[in-house]
Amino acid sequence: MKISIIQNEIKWGVKEENLASFGRYMQECYGKTDLVILPEMFSTGFAVDTPELSENTDGQAISTIKTWASEGNFAVAGSFMAQENEKFYNRSFFCFPDGKIEFADKRHLFIGDEKKFFTAGDKILNVEFLDVKFRLLVCYDVRFPIWARYTEENPYNVLIYVANFPKDRIDVWDTLLMARAMENQAYVCGVNAVGIDSYNVRHNGHSCIIEPRGKRIAEFEENEIGIRTVEIDVDYQQKIRTKFPFLKDGDFNFN
């Protein structure tokens, strides 16, 4: 399976401009990949102090995602600012080429306005596509390893984190993505944004794809904008999990 990650500058709160910008990169991926992953809140930026930018699942962002998936014949994953029943959510999505789409809301809301204005989710987004199992989490979720824990009851091959992780804590992002890959013997795709947000916080990217033993197989230069595509091998992954069955020794219940 080929996976593409897009690292791009997000114009905070300017939805039309963001959709156009990401759309140009999407078109470059048409017919060349199986899955494209976008950063957290790709259409608005992490403008959680302006929840009026949110939309329902029939709104402009998801309608555009479905168009890209159909025209490109690939799946698309990411998150957007959602509104439902007068509540606001940082909602992750996995859209299949046929327009079917699965959602889950970010579990761990970040300190400050996200906690103030948004509602936390209570489920993990697990999907299967082209015989590959995915788990999709959002930004701050990376700090909570139990939420990403591989188990035989809830297995996956690829762990996705979409983010707006800031430059001044980017070493945390780098380290935890590596840890999540090694402790779960999983491919990890971490997709971050670049640019300055509505809080005047700078983001410098560091998007990457990491293989199950902790080696980066795709990465970007600092603040680089563009696409990286790699082909993952779940047979290779299974060989690692069979040869080194660390996952069977995990402690899931203890006093």
Structure tokens at 53: 């930018």
| CA Rg value for the chain | 17
Q: Which listed residue (40, 55, 114, 211) is catalytic? A: 40
55 and 82 Cβ atoms separated by less than 8 Å: yes
CA distance 67 to 63: 6
Catalytic residue at 139?
Answer: yes
Catalytic residue at 40?
Answer: yes
DSSP three-state, residue 208:
strand
Catalytic residue at 29?
Answer: no
- Percentages helix, strand, coil for the chain (3-state, rounded to 5) are 30, 30, 40
Pick from 29, 34, 44, 30: nearest CA to 2: 34
Specify the residue for token string 């824990």: 149
Q: Which listed residue (139, 167, 189, 211) is catalytic? A: 139
Q: Which listed residue (11, 15, 66, 106) is catalytic? A: 106
Q: Residue 135, Cβ neighbours under 10 Å: how many?
A: 25
* Residues labelled as active-site residues: 40, 106, 139
